[in-house]
Structure 1
């Protein structure tokens, strides 16, 4: 019996891999995505070392590395909605985010906890999974541990991640990650191209800074192992796979390489947690439906001007529906049909059959959850991909977009009436929900399969796009253009030389 048990354990552990999962952004939404990877990989029997600023529940096979000290970079002032109103903040500034995220990763990798990991010569991993967000510094981990690199992107496919595993997307029909519009008429296409070029130029100018941080962070660890640290450009384009947090139900369909895998919705629990008793009673008793209002985990809606909050409460009071508002503060004289919370279990609320509308900041996790449960939305985007997320939802017919302004209470009231009175929004949400659920395998199974596939095939080189091995001048036929121009020049010069000869011969003949 003992021998059989030992043999069984050996067989079960033979396919267990050791994985390094790095989600360093000190934001609850990014923590949810990181936790999704950890949970599914642990369930599949693998060992996981998780680098995170937001620790999760301990579990067998899990080692966590706390990097919460990097949270000081994300100042609460960055997400003050009152400063968005007064235009003091421009949260669509690519340069701002690239500097902020580079500093977050710099602090993360220089923390004592991570340095101990990097400097442990006996530590080995079968693969490293790193979240991409405005910087590729995390790629250095694969060089140190000499294992395959897997990127994870929290957004729908955009040119700055596809170019890491294939090539840039065409700006004529694909927005950037910081676009604020989705339509592509003449001027929008011109603006989109200008944004592409501006960001590309910034990345080129910022490359020296990133390279310096890369060498300072990973150089000593490589030397300790007797390795030569590869060039930064070599490791950042050496990924075996890119996971994307999207699905065709919330994004447009574009051509993607074989090693880009969309697994949007993998963070959603298949069996949602039961609602707390007070919320369960509120939702069960709301016969006319529930409107859920949340601006996510980073934004600070409590810093709205008091008049705006009062106006919103006044409009909500006239509704037949119950409003659950994740505001983060208590107010006096709150209408009976409005309930304020500092925290709310979003998935459990959206899953309830009485939830008829979701007012959101249009983060991609929220939109994916709305589609998963078939709930129409009103989007109030503030930064990053939120603008284009809600534009896509509007184009698909299950959402309305409002730009945050002093007039938002009036506009929101009108948008609520429009969506609740027009059944097409809910019908389209249900249609797209059906499309989302109609798939061969669940996203969590895809996640585990492709991680294991990368390891089993020693880096999945067979999936890598030939585009990365093709020089830029060949992609754009610059060599052919040069040859054509040279031929034209040579021919023109020859004609210039021969033409006088022909003329002289003609004169002699005459």
Structure 2
């Protein structure tokens, strides 16, 4: 299999470590590029910098150079990659880490797992990722201020999440959720594809693993598992596959590219087989289509775990795929109406907004410009030291007081006992 599927076999901590290495290398190439160097030496003027943010913090230097507000478009819902910038709380009692295979309804052992990964993730962020990005920044621009100073002045973080996708979490005032902003009204399909969708009166199952995981990289065993399972259902299957398959069942259509959101939106679509990427999951919920998830890496695991617990999806283990488990899950999701009904409920929640998500994003971006960075949205948590933020100084103070009190009681008790023993000895001597 390709390197991304190998990446998915790593633990959360290992994935963070690899992301750090990738992020440093990518950011260094960008900052050393001749066009970027020329831009940094120019006298251009800008009203705002918008940065797609993921392990590339050093690119925030543009906002410092051009003396304008910085807006970050997060790659995921509020996570370890963004929380430190806004001082956003993430209590491990109910906010899960990025690749957790469970949602906020955790049992005791899941909370232990979650707490451990949250703490180690924060340590990696503060002691590896940020220092590494600062090193890259200083290498490209030796006179640049410390990266922590630049990041402190971040005005706004936009996250691609919506409440309909999962559980509510704490958010600072300068974090705005705009999940679904990328979904547009469905466009007309190419005639051949439109005819295929319209003629599928029993329904259509859409199968796409996104742009990073290619179906052409699947093992022959996996491909056979999928084809055999598809041959057992009455619905048609539209599969995004880079090459054609000569021995496919009659109900399977192969295309190298799909207008994904548009075909999911078709009224005959009954299910979406996906790796569980956030944007694809959002499109499915937006259009009220249940998901059969084959998560591979990163947040895909969490997205599908939440879909399963919320009732609008099922999961099959991609790395231990067999025909029985996949076929059973496929039959269940296309034949049991509860998944589609729940997906429709979630869709109604997503659509029940006063304005469209893209308009919301535009409003807050313009708000930041109007208010010259909107510093009033910034949390006071950013002004605290780490031990103050987590009340460790207060806890330490209370522990010291309790220790002094207990020690005093012990010494007093010991003193009284000695005195009583001394009095008793004197009486015996008399």
What TM-score, normalized to structure 2?
0.90
Aligned-partner Cα distance in 1 for 2:320–2:401: 62
**1:328-354 CA-partner distances (Å, limit 9, x unpaired):** 111212222111111111011011111
1:261 and 2:176 equivalent? yes
**Does the 8 Å CA contact 1:394/1:400 hold for their aligned counterparts?**
yes
User: What secondary structure, in the 3-state scheme, does the structure 1 residue paired with 2:154 have?
Assistant: coil
User: What secondary structure, in the 3-state scheme, does the structure 2 residue paired with 1:235 have?
Assistant: helix
Q: Give the corresponding residue for 1:95.
A: 17
Q: Give the corresponding residue for 2:141.
A: 218
Residue of 133, 157, 161 corresponding to 1:242: 157
Q: Give the corresponding residue for 1:345.
A: 259
Q: Give the corresponding residue for 2:64.
A: 143
Return the offset for 1:276: 0.9
Residues 298, 497 of structure 1: alpha-carbon distance in 2 compared, 3 angstrom cutoff: same
Aligned-partner Cα distance in 1 for 2:394–2:229: 64
Moved over 4 A (4+): 89-92, 488-495, 497-510
User: What secondary structure, in the 3-state scheme, does the structure 1 residue paired with 2:369 have?
Assistant: helix
Residues 449, 319 of structure 1: alpha-carbon distance in 2 compared, 3 angstrom cutoff: same
Residues 408, 156 of structure 1: alpha-carbon distance in 2 compared, 3 angstrom cutoff: farther
**Does the 8 Å CA contact 1:263/1:447 hold for their aligned counterparts?**
yes
User: Gaps spanning 5+ residues in structure 1: where?
Assistant: 1-75, 224-228
Residue of 120, 145, 155 corresponding to 2:76: 155
**Does the 8 Å CA contact 1:308/1:406 hold for their aligned counterparts?**
no
User: Gaps spanning 5+ residues in structure 2: where?
Assistant: none
Aligned-partner Cα distance in 2 for 1:361–1:382: 6
User: What secondary structure, in the 3-state scheme, does the structure 1 residue paired with 2:207 have?
Assistant: strand
RMSD: 2.5
Aligned-partner Cα distance in 2 for 1:412–1:110: 47
What TM-score, normalized to structure 1?
0.77
Q: Give the corresponding residue for 1:203.
A: 125
1:78 and 2:78 equivalent? no
Q: Give the corresponding residue for 2:375.
A: 461
Q: 1:290-301 residue pairs with structure 2 within 5 A?
A: 290-301=204-215
Residues 358, 498 of structure 1: alpha-carbon distance in 2 compared, 3 angstrom cutoff: closer
**1:98-153 CA-partner distances (Å, limit 9, x unpaired):** 21122112212221222221111x11211111111134222222111111111111
Aligned-partner Cα distance in 1 for 2:347–2:131: 45
With 373-382 and 463-472 compared, the bigger mean Cα shift is at: 463-472
Return the offset for 1:488: 4.5
Return the offset for 1:491: 5.1
Aligned-partner Cα distance in 1 for 2:7–2:148: 36
Aligned-partner Cα distance in 1 for 2:325–2:109: 27
**Does the 8 Å CA contact 1:128/1:141 hold for their aligned counterparts?**
yes
**Does the 8 Å CA contact 1:151/1:241 hold for their aligned counterparts?**
yes
With 478-487 and 445-454 compared, the bigger mean Cα shift is at: 478-487
User: What secondary structure, in the 3-state scheme, does the structure 1 residue paired with 2:163 have?
Assistant: coil
Aligned-partner Cα distance in 2 for 1:285–1:213: 55
Q: Give the corresponding residue for 1:41.
A: none
**Does the 8 Å CA contact 1:240/1:459 hold for their aligned counterparts?**
yes
Aligned-partner Cα distance in 1 for 2:392–2:320: 51
User: What secondary structure, in the 3-state scheme, does the structure 1 residue paired with 2:183 have?
Assistant: coil
**Does the 8 Å CA contact 1:176/1:192 hold for their aligned counterparts?**
yes
User: What secondary structure, in the 3-state scheme, does the structure 2 residue paired with 1:332 have?
Assistant: coil
Return the offset for 1:177: 1.3
Return the offset for 1:479: 3.1
**Does the 8 Å CA contact 1:130/1:152 hold for their aligned counterparts?**
yes
**Does the 8 Å CA contact 1:144/1:218 hold for their aligned counterparts?**
no
Q: Give the corresponding residue for 2:55.
A: 134
Count residues in correspondence: 421
Q: 1:316-465 residue pairs with structure 2 within 5 A?
A: 316-465=230-379
Residues 445, 491 of structure 1: alpha-carbon distance in 2 compared, 3 angstrom cutoff: same
**Does the 8 Å CA contact 1:419/1:425 hold for their aligned counterparts?**
yes
**1:431-489 CA-partner distances (Å, limit 9, x unpaired):** 11111101011111111111111111111111111111223333333333343344445
